[in-house]
């Protein structure tokens, strides 16, 4: 249960103001069909985070616990710093209409936007940290993504304007910093 709760909280906070959350807002504004967009975000996130979790789990077994502890600690601290750098959506990232429909366009755009993103890297690190709870890490990170993105699809700009993104990013940075220190001291 710890893996699920940590993964959900960390990813939900990390996703606030993230490029993929901005993409969700853009998809909602462009297509105005929330159900296929939310379903597409869910499908893309499950696939992406299952792969990321598998990489994190594999790395743990390949590197060993001592080396991994230092890598994880440093990675969580680096993620804390990265959280303080705001994301923006480039014009090249904007989804275009395609023959895949709203659902297919959302899956493809969201999956590609999530590659190398903060939440994907967080999923790798969390799966490496909670090696016996791979399933719960993926479920938690997916749930965190849905908590952050589904309301944006339905409520759009209204919710984004009311959430103090700098405060959310600062809280996320502190959580990642604490996880990094805990990993480094082996607690």
**pLDDT tens per residue across span 143-185:** 999 999 999 898 876 665 666 667 766 777 787 788 788 878 8
CA 176 to chain centroid: 13
Per residue in 34-86, pLDDT (tens digit) is: 999 999 999 999 999 999 999 998 988 888 777 877 887 888 788 788 778 76
Provide the domain count of the chain: 1
**Strand spans (E) along 23-169:** none
Query: Which range marks the domain in which residue 117 is found?
Result: 2-185
Give the pLDDT band of residue 127 (cuts 50, 70, 90): very high
List of residues 6+ apart from 162 with CB closer than 8 A: none
CA-CA-CA-CA dihedral for 42, 2, 162, 106, to nearest 10: -10
What predicted TM-score, i.e. pTM, was given to this entire model? 0.76
């Amino acid at each position: 249960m710890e893996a699920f709760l940590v993964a959900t909280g960390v990813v939900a906070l990390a996703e606030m103001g993230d490029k993929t959350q901005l993409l969700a807002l853009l998809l909602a504004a462009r297509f105005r069909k929330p159900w296929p967009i939310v379903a597409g975000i869910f499908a893309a996130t499950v696939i992406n985070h299952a792969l990321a979790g598998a990489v994190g789990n594999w790395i743990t077994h390949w590197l060993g616990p001592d080396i991994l502890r230092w890598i994880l600690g440093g990675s969580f601290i680096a993620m804390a710093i990265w959280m303080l750098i705001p994301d923006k959506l480039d014009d090249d990232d904007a989804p275009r209409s395609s023959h895949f429909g709203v659902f297919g366009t959302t899956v493809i755009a969201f999956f590609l936007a999530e590659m190398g993103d903060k939440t994907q890297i967080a999923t790798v690190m969390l799966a490496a940290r909670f090696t016996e709870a791979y399933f719960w890490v993926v479920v938690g990170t997916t749930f965190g993504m849905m908590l952050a993105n589904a309301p944006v699809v339905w409520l759009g700009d209204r919710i984004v304007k009311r959430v103090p993104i700098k405060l959310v990013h600062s809280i996320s940075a502190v959580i990642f910093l604490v996880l990094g220190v805990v990993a480094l001291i082996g607690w």
